[in-house]
Structure 1
Amino acid sequence: MILPLLFLLASLLPQYGSEAESSHVSKFHLPSVKEQNGVQESQQEKIITVSGEGMVHSPDFPHTYPRNTVLVWRLVASRNMKIQLTFDERFGLEDPEDGICKYDFVEIEEPTEKTVLGRWCGSQSVPTSHISKGSQIRIRFISDEYFPSEPGFCIRYSLLPVSVSEPEGPVVLPPTLHGIDELSDAVADLGTVEEVMKYLEPERWQLDIEELYKPSWHALGKSFIHNKKARGGADLNMLREEVQLYSCTPRNFSVSLREELKRTDAIFWPSCLLVKRCGGNCACCAHRCYDCQCVPAKVTKKYHEVLLLKHRSGGRGLQKSMTDVALEHHEECACVCKDDWD
């Protein structure tokens, strides 16, 4: 009697272990091998064959999502179809830091172009709807180990035929496709780097800011400007010093970077910088000549780090980078006769 019972227990143990493992997987929302609507398991991402309407969402939506979570979905439609994404009005992830989503966020990427269309977090506003450029689109959700929020996010997807997915009416070109001069004028009027990025790429400006300040292979710019205090003196020297302020001395001038560097193929922000250039008159010129002019006696190059915008080849948007520009600064000036200077 005991021997048959042992055989029965031995046959039930594997089945019990399998059920326990299955329960554990379900608790952490890991995908099965084959789910509804063509969901298949991949080592790095879920591949969803889109044949109708459906949704992807953060775990436990509309409640607090778990910490330390990475989920990636690739939505795949047939070649003659595009995918439309619409965010649920209930949206809330961990707040950004300095206006940038660094910790918990959801982002949308075009897999064929490897371009991130946007990244969102916080709870101030619901992201707008998106239509894929091709027949695929990727959604990525990340949460770190701190401050999970609620309700998370939910994105509904549906199919659109290629022929009707394009918006009707007049086509409004995005800022990145405007002419270089028109774009330069628009950027020059903006007050901060954040405003520049929002104007150029409203949906992905946070990513551009994050990429902009990442360490790169080139050396960062150096500043060689040293403010030297004017020499003090007795009261008898004050009149002379006041005259010197308006005589031939280095002083601040604003210069346009595109004109100064002769770079009409690029846009700089700020568009103008201050440089030291010789200015003032030579009324007290020591030389006995008819026309005494103020000219630089010592010139140095100083480096300034600015934002550089250039059109990519093939019209694929703008390339954004921090770059060093070298500008001439006059450190010493002198009055000389015009004939000698010529």
Structure 2
Amino acid sequence: MHESVAESSHISKIHHASTKEQNGVHESQHEKVLSVTADGIIQSPDFPNTYPRNTVIVWRLVAVTESSRIQLTFDPRFGLEDAEDGICKYDYVEVEEPVGGVVLGRWCGSEMVPGPQVSKGNQILIRFVSDDYFPSDPGFCIRYSLLQQSQSEPEAPAVMPAWMQSVDVLSEAVAGFSTMEEVMKYLEPERWQVDMEDLYKPTWQVVGKSFIHQKKSRGVVDLNLLREEVRLYSCTPRNFSVSLREELKRTDAIFWPSCLLVKRCGGNCACCSHNCYDCQCSTTKVAKKYHEVLMLKHRAGGRGLQKTLTDVPLEHHEECSCVCKNDSD
């Protein structure tokens, strides 16, 4: 079908020279382009039934004016093939900012419905991908609508990207996270899921011995376990053997057993803040616990030993923390 120059010139310049128009949708070999003038919907094929296998569809939504923004709202009925290890690898729907190729989110599974998404400019991309296996239902349905950008609306303060921060600031921020996912979200909030997946793709130019000898794969290697291993040797409550005579400062008695295990703070504080000169492992929560022991004391006048079972209080450390004790403190 032949299009007039006025209808197709703008679209063909941006996308593909060979396009056709049907029901207001410009279709090219690579993507479907929708001119957004009112509310509408985009959905996976056959929604709310099982979508087809081996499918790739890309929709480009273009608002009619530069000042317009596009809001996407997902239907509560949402279900694609489940993620593997928390990453949507196989079937997924993805929302992307065309300028810069920033991925706003990638979703799959059925446990959580994606929240609303708003474009930063007057365009937004939606990409649906399914592979050859395990198609699910109901798929997805997205309602799109126009938002008018207020000219007087104050701009949100710019947040410095992680890659622009100094090594010291970045190091201290990363050290505070407890999982690899939190680290990646901080470093690349727009595309952290993609980066997580890329981490486990072998690159032979830089791959280490761990890949060759341990058959490195996403299902075997969990970098979060490395942090757990570090925690075991860092400042934590651990078992210590203490002498009851020394602990209770009793020189007039003999105890059996003479030593008991108690929880005391121990381990290194090598991972303290970079600007701390003296970092010590200190207790932040203490509990007093009673232990039943046999106590022996000499009777008055040297007439044998007095034997009694008694409860002795011992201090146990339940929580520990690395405390900075600089010279100025």
TM-score if structure 1 supplies the norm length? 0.51
What is the aligned counterpart of 1:44 among 19, 30, 41? 30
Q: How far is the alpha carbon of 1:213 from its aligned partner? A: 2.8
Equivalence for 1:59 = 45
Query: What fraction of aligned residue pairs are identical, expressed as a percent?
Result: 61
SS in 2 for 1:148: coil
Equivalence for 1:299 = none
Counterpart code for 1:99: G
What is the aligned counterpart of 1:124 among 81, 106, 111? 111
125 and 203 in structure 1: CA distance in 2 versus 1, 3 angstrom threshold? farther
Equivalence for 1:280 = none
Aligned residues of 1:88 and 1:154 also touching (Cα < 8 A): yes
Describe how 1:192-211 pairs up with structure 2 within 5 A: 192-201=179-188, 204-211=191-198
Equivalence for 2:100 = 113
Aligned residues of 2:102 and 2:190 also touching (Cα < 8 A): no
- Alignment partners' CA distance in 2, 1:202 and 1:219: 25
SS in 2 for 1:163: coil
Aligned residues of 1:74 and 1:139 also touching (Cα < 8 A): yes
More helix by share: 1
Q: For residues 10-45 of structure 1, what are the alpha-carbon distances to aligned partners after superposition, in whole Å with 9 as ceiling and x for unaligned? A: xxxxxxxxxxxxxxxxxxxxxx94333x21111110
40 and 220 in structure 1: CA distance in 2 versus 1, 3 angstrom threshold? same
Q: Check if 1:76 corresponds to 2:76.
A: no
Q: For residues 188-247 of structure 1, what are the alpha-carbon distances to aligned partners after superposition, in whole Å with 9 as ceiling and x for unaligned? A: 122221232244455643212012233447423458xxxxxxxxxxxxxxxxxxxxxxxx
Counterpart code for 1:69: T
Q: How far is the alpha carbon of 1:178 from its aligned partner? A: 9.1
165 and 62 in structure 1: CA distance in 2 versus 1, 3 angstrom threshold? farther
Equivalence for 1:94 = 81
150 and 203 in structure 1: CA distance in 2 versus 1, 3 angstrom threshold? farther
Counterpart code for 1:104: D
205 and 165 in structure 1: CA distance in 2 versus 1, 3 angstrom threshold? farther
189 and 137 in structure 1: CA distance in 2 versus 1, 3 angstrom threshold? same
Aligned residues of 2:50 and 2:138 also touching (Cα < 8 A): yes
SS in 2 for 1:82: strand
SS in 2 for 1:220: coil
Q: How far is the alpha carbon of 1:144 from its aligned partner? A: 0.9
SS in 1 for 2:150: helix
TM-score if structure 2 supplies the norm length? 0.53
- Alignment partners' CA distance in 1, 2:45 and 2:144: 17
- Alignment partners' CA distance in 1, 2:142 and 2:151: 21
**What is the count of residue pairs matched by the alignment?**
199
Q: How far is the alpha carbon of 1:159 from its aligned partner? A: 1.1
Runs of at least 5 residues in structure 1 that lack an aligned partner in the other structure: 1-31, 224-251, 260-342
SS in 1 for 2:103: strand
Describe how 1:259-270 pairs up with structure 2 within 5 A: none
SS in 1 for 2:72: strand
Q: How far is the alpha carbon of 1:64 from its aligned partner? A: 1.0
Counterpart code for 1:57: Q
Aligned residues of 1:175 and 1:183 also touching (Cα < 8 A): no
Aligned residues of 1:197 and 1:209 also touching (Cα < 8 A): yes
- Alignment partners' CA distance in 1, 2:200 and 2:146: 38
Runs of at least 5 residues in structure 2 that lack an aligned partner in the other structure: 1-18, 211-266, 275-329
- Alignment partners' CA distance in 1, 2:209 and 2:184: 24
84 and 257 in structure 1: CA distance in 2 versus 1, 3 angstrom threshold? same
Q: How far is the alpha carbon of 1:165 from its aligned partner? A: 11
SS in 2 for 1:99: coil
- Alignment partners' CA distance in 2, 1:200 and 1:54: 35
